[in-house]
Chains A and B, each alone.
Chain A
Amino acid sequence: MPTSEDLSPAEYDLLLSQARVPEHSIHYMKTVSGGRPFLRYDYLFLHAEDWLLAVGYSIHGGDDPPEAFDQALQEARRETRAVNCWAICPELPERLRLYRTTQDRYYVLPSDIKIPSRLTRLADKAAARLTVDRGTAFTAAHRRLWAEFTGRVALPPNVRELYARTESALPQCPDLFLLNAWDDQGNLAACLLLDAAPRPFLSYLLGAHSRQTHTPYASDLLFREMIRIALETGKEYLHLGLGVNPGIRRFKEKWGASPATAYEMAEWSEPPDFRDDLDDLVRTVVFMPHVQMTREQYWNSLPPQRPYKLIWELEKNGRTSWIGGTAHFFCCSFESSMRRLFEKVDTVIFEGPLDQASLDQVARIGQTPDQTPNQASPRLLDAMTEEDVRKLERTVNGPRGFWARFLGTEDPNPADVRHYLANTRHWYAFFSLWTHFLRRNDWNHSVDLEAWHLAHEMGKEVRGMESIDEQIVTLESVPVDRIVRFFRQCGLWKGFIRRNMRAYLKGDLDAMMGTSAEFPSRTDLVIDRRDALFLERMLPRITTGRCAVFVGSAHMFNLQKMLADAGFTVRKLRKI
């Protein structure tokens, strides 16, 4: 299945040279929709987040059979997993007719049309009082005209939206321009927004005329000028857009425009999860170990799957990468989402190496505190009272004793809390006891470990941004008093992990950080100072595109802005 990557320069060129409808003007569409364009067969699609726009006019012309468009549409939908969909085409596929919102025709006008003499006279009258020019600057006069016009005329919301986006679209679309008619007081009497990007035609997008500084026939003058420009620039015809209503149709027809290509639009929502879930199931079955299981055993063997939502899409120069916030320990698996993501990437980057040898090395260091005089590792036990330790033991290991055994709630493998506090490095004691508590609460997964193994299994290039030595320096910097404080608050841990889980599953970064501000390893050094290093080390890969980066969720606070500052368009996805 091809993926929805941005178009190549050749495809941009193809679209503009074969354009049939104004929606083929790819730079404009990309700008006003905010979506990313891609081609499926002969059809243009734009997609972002959970939505998909489908332009059902084949770029190679022809009859546009609804079935061919529908095939491309269904593939694009499956691939993008879009929920909210819009399609325009000459004739809607049968299954979408129920969702039709508009039926109309595009109006076109040949460039070499002979302008009726009456209109020439009107335009001449206006020309005597107005100066026409073209430009790309949205000036104060344009703003005032746009405000006046949209404040006076009833317009559909989508057309209002086009007016609202004119100022931002102009600098981004090189072939978009304003055709202006100025009176001798310097007032803008009328203005058209035109698009010269499609090679075969000049597209009329919007227009406005003033009543406050009214000059009769200003719009007619601009129409005549627009036709002249189309002819001079070698356009075959002018695309005047849809008929919309009898008044607009009359104006277009008065200039000789005639209804041409049919237009139907549908708007609908796809059921969000059915196919996705089916895909996930298929993936899981494909990748499941080939051992004999009963159906019940199989279902029971599946870890609780959740969509991965703490993920951002990074785009620069048409190349896309992704960055996700991870949790070292978690209660659910995100394997299906990760597989989906990894199908789109070549490289997967982590904070550091997560292979068994590296993890063992970290554990070895953690278990052997530095005994050197004057720089001996601090012992957590020395900073805690007997009562603190007992409370911690109860939280980490849960209930013990006769009743706990009787009720089956006693931990069969309790952690030796005092050993960790007395005989291991402070950060190792923290992570060991915290992990034990999490495991006892069924947090048996690790987001980054799962991603690490999956990336290897799928044959991706896997990299770490820091060495083990660098990571040890970071761990050593975790302040003892923060760990002690966190241990003293162990009575709040259950609520803490519950809130953290909810926020993580929702992809709500703010809520996550709100619930864990006092987490011992979230210090300036661990988070802020490493962000710059991470950015520097991930930059070459994410600039190339097709790269997925995983960092601890707390890093995403700063990294979002830093990545945007580095020129990336950073877009939070609802899920992957």
Chain B
Amino acid sequence: MLGPDRLDHVAARAVVPEQLICYVRAVAGSTPRLFDACLGYESPDDLVLIGYPLHDPPQSLFDEQALSRSVDLALESSRAPRITVLAATRPRQAPAVATKEPPADKSPGQSSGQPRDAYLALPIPAPAPNQKLRNLLRRAGREVTLDQGRVLDQEHLALIDRYLEYRDLEPGTRLVFRNIPAYVQSCPGALVVSAWLNRSDGPPRLAGFVVGDFTSLSTAFYMFAFRDPDLAPPGTADLLLHALLQEGEKRGQVRMNLGLGINPAIRYFKQKWGAEVFLPCVETSWERRPRGWLSRMHKWISGAKSP
């Protein structure tokens, strides 16, 4: 007897970042709930269903029947006017023309605005880096010092600000970035690895940092990465990813989910490390039509009751 289900068992089996309950709650504030085998997040206006089924015992993440059952249940039990499904395939319930706006609580690292992409992953231990990568790691390793922690200080926040300043991002994505400090602080599985530039003429300065998540029993997550382009020596981002991979190995995870491909540059960075497609990701969003006068009446009554 444990009390309310905090869904830690879902996070323990997470294979995609959206199944990390603590993370999504911290950055988006929506309420998690299981719809049969799939996890969903509800807010008054949106339901986001993470359509990678969590069977007991675990089976295929490509189970279209399980996805379909979950979508049916979600459509039946949630009154959110808009539904978004992230899954390996498009759910059969989606209307022929579905909108493709990314959900607000989607990880920024994966917020591409592209409806089709794929999560890339590396095994842990990762394949041995090639000579060029080893050179980069060595170079960066000479010029920066890494440390680990669970707090973001002013320099970290400044890097996030700088990242946001120069990018045209959706409000939901900006909100996620703004909530990274809250995420890092409130989720014990989150870890920040920072690269500090070694300087003889003053205190070290932050060249970049990454946030990893090690909540899941089997999968580590490469959540966010920031780099100061003016300061970071070549290879800093690689060195930070390498540190996360080592941490995953130390903790016993067997793979690292590197997030979606996003764009050719990011995909190149990940594939340079040997990352391969782990799970397809199709994002399908659609508005739901009220089912009839009874449903409209319910909506009206609910609306009238709200303060």
A34 partner residues in chain B, CB cutoff 8 A: 3, 6
Known: A139-B252, A164-B8. A151 touches B1 (CB 8 A): no
Q: State which of A23, A155, A168 has its C-beta within 8 Å of the C-beta of B1.
A: A23
Interface assignment of A254: CB less than 8 Å from any CB of chain B:
no
Tell me if B9 and A160 are in contact (CB < 8 A). Answer: yes
Q: Does B288 contact A (CB under 8 A)?
A: no
Instruction: Judge if A146 is at the interface, Cβ distance under 8 Å.
Output: yes
Minimum CB distance partner of B248 in chain A? A140
Q: B251–A155 contact, CB under 8 A?
A: no
A86 at the binding interface (Cβ < 8 Å)? yes
Let me know if A51 and B56 touch, CB within 8 A.
Answer: no
Known contacts: A144-B254, A151-B218. The answer to whether A48 contacts B3 by CB under 8 A is yes
Contact with B along A367-397 (1 / 0, CB 8 A): 0000000000000000000000000000000
The contact of B185 among A88, A265, A564, by CB within 8 Å, is A564
Give the residues from 124 to 175 in chain A that come closer than 8 angstroms, CB to CB, to chain B: 139-144, 146-147, 150-155, 157-158, 160-165, 168
B-contacting 9-mer, from A231-239, A293-301, A498-506: A498-506
Q: Which residues of A contact B58 (CB under 8 A)?
A: 151
Number of interface residues of A (CB under 8 A): 46
Q: Tell me if A561 is interfacial: C-beta within 8 Å of chain B.
A: yes
User: Are the CB atoms of A141 and B57 closer together than 8 Å?
Assistant: no
Alpha-carbon distance between A477 and B3 when the two chains are bound, in angstroms: 48
Q: Does B81 contact A (CB under 8 A)?
A: no
Chain A interface, >50% SS class: helix
A53 to B3, CA, bound (A): 6
Is A141 a contact partner of B252 (Cβ separation < 8 A)? yes
Q: Quick check: A505 and B307 within 8 Å, CB to CB?
A: yes
CB distance from B216 to the nearest CB of A (A): 8
| Measured CA separation A32–B5 after assembly (Å) | 11
Measured in the bound complex, the distance between the Cα atoms of B188 and A447 in whole Å is: 36
Q: Would A51 and B13 count as touching, CB distance under 8 A?
A: no
Question: Cβ of A502 and Cβ of B254 under 8 Å apart?
Answer: no
- Asked if B12 is at the interface of the complex by the 8 Å CB criterion, the answer is yes
Chain A positions within 8 Å of B306 at CB level:
502
Task: Specify the chain A residue showing the minimal Cβ separation from B216.
Answer: A147
Complex Cα spacing A53 to B2, Å: 8
Residues of A within 8 A of B188 (CB): 168
Q: Collect the chain B residues with CB atoms within 8 Å of residue A502's CB.
A: 306-307
Asked if B249 is at the interface (CB within 8 A of a chain A CB), the reply is yes
Is B9's CB under 8 angstroms from A140's CB? no
User: Known: A163-B12, A164-B9. Is A154-B57 also a contact (CB below 8 A)?
Assistant: yes
Give bound CA distance, A96 to B250, whole Å: 48
Given A143-B217, A163-B9, A51 and B4 touching (CB < 8 A)? yes
Is A441 located at the chain interface by the 8 A CB criterion?
A: no
Q: Is the CB of A154 within 8 A of B11?
A: no
Q: A515 at interface (Cβ–Cβ under 8 A)?
A: no
Contact A147 B217 (CB under 8 A): yes
Rounded to whole Å, the gap between the CB of B37 and the closest CB of chain A is 12
Q: Would you call B185 and A51 a contact (CB within 8 A)?
A: no
Shortest Cβ distance from residue A498 to the other chain B in the assembled complex, whole angstroms: 10
Residues 1-60 of B contacting A (Cβ, < 8 Å): 1-6, 8-9, 11-13, 29, 56-58
Tell whether, in the assembled complex, residue A143 and residue B13 are in contact, meaning their CB atoms are under 8 Å apart.
no
**Chain B positions within 8 Å of A162 at CB level:** 2
A76 to chain B, nearest CB (A): 14
Which residue of chain B has its CB nearest to the CB of A153?
B57
B residues less than 8 Å from A161 (CB atoms): 2, 5-6, 8-9
How long is the Cα–Cα vector from A219 to B43 in the complex, in angstroms?
45
Cross-interface CB contact of A146 among B2, B29, B217, cutoff 8 Å: B217
* Chain A neighbourhood of B307, CB < 8 A: 306, 501-502, 505-506
B218-252 CB mask vs A (1 if < 8 Å, else 0) is 10000000000000000000000000000001111
Contact among A143, A164, A168, A306 for B251, CB-based, below 8 A? A143
Choose among A86, A140, A306, A501 the residue that contacts B249 (Cβ–Cβ < 8 A): A140
Sample 8 A-B pairs with CB under 8 A, ordered by A number. Answer: A23-B1, A33-B2, A33-B3, A146-B12, A152-B57, A165-B8, A502-B307, A510-B29
Q: Which residues of A contact B (CB under 8 A)?
A: 23, 32-35, 46, 48-49, 51, 53, 55, 84, 86, 88, 139-144, 146-147, 150-155, 157-158, 160-165, 168, 265, 306, 501-502, 505-506, 510, 561, 564
Sort A-B residue pairs by CB-CB distance and give the 3 closest, nearest first. A140-B252, A143-B252, A160-B9
- Additional pairs, 16, CB under 8 Å, beyond known A151-B218, A157-B9: A46-B3, A48-B3, A51-B3, A53-B3, A143-B253, A150-B12, A150-B13, A150-B57, A152-B57, A155-B56, A158-B1, A160-B9, A168-B188, A265-B1, A502-B306, A561-B182
